[in-house]
Amino acid sequence: MLRHAIAPSARYTKASNDVVRHPRLNSDAKILLLYVQGLPGDATCKPLSELANKVGIKGRAYQKAKGQLVEHGYVHERRSQAEGGRWLTDQLVANTPLTGEQALRLLRPPAPSVVAPPPSTQLPTVGEPTPRVAGGYEPVEDHCDKTTPHPPTEPEPAPGSAPRPAPGSAQHPTPHPAPHPAPGPAPEPPQQTSTPPSRTPTPPPQALTANPQTPTANPAQLARAERVLLSLRHTRRELRLGVAEARDLAVEAVEWFERGASEADLRHALLAERPQEGIRSAVGFLRYRLHRKLPEPPVQHRPCERPPLPELVECSGPGEPHLFRPMFGESECPSCRRAAAEAEPEPLPWRERIALINGTPAVSPAGA
Q: What is the pLDDT of residues 230-248, one digit of tens each?
A: 998 888 888 888 999 989 9
Task: Parse the chain into domains and list their residue ranges.
Answer: 17-106, 219-292, 313-341
Q: What is the pLDDT of residues 83-136, one digit of tens each?
A: 878 888 889 999 899 998 888 888 876 555 555 556 655 555 555 666 665 555
Q: How far is CA 198 from the centre of its chain?
A: 45
DSSP bridge pairs for 214? none
Please give the single-letter amino acid code of residue 159: P
Pick from 190, 262, 281, 276: nearest CA to 221: 262
pLDDT more than 70, % of the chain: 68
User: Whole-angstrom Cα distance, residue 216 to residue 95?
Assistant: 58
User: Whole-angstrom Cα distance, residue 68 to residue 52?
Assistant: 14
Distances (CA, A) of 203 to 198, 200, 209, 213, 303: 15, 9, 10, 18, 51
pLDDT of 128: 60
User: Is the pTM higher than 0.95?
Assistant: no
The DSSP output letter for 277 is: T
Pick among 2.60.40, 1.10.10, 1.10.3470, 1.10.1740: CATH of 17-106 = 1.10.10
User: Can you spell out the DSSP letters for 80-108?
Assistant: EE-TTS-EEEEEEE-SS---HHHHHHHHS
Asked if the model's pLDDT at residue 35 lies above 60, the reply is: yes
Residues 6+ apart with CB under 8 A from 72: 22, 24, 25, 97
- For residues 157-169, one letter each, b for 16 or more C-beta atoms within 10 angstroms of the residue's C-beta and e for the rest, the string is eeeeeeeeeeeee
Range in 2-11, 183-192, 279-288 with the lowest mean pLDDT: 183-192
SS3 76: strand
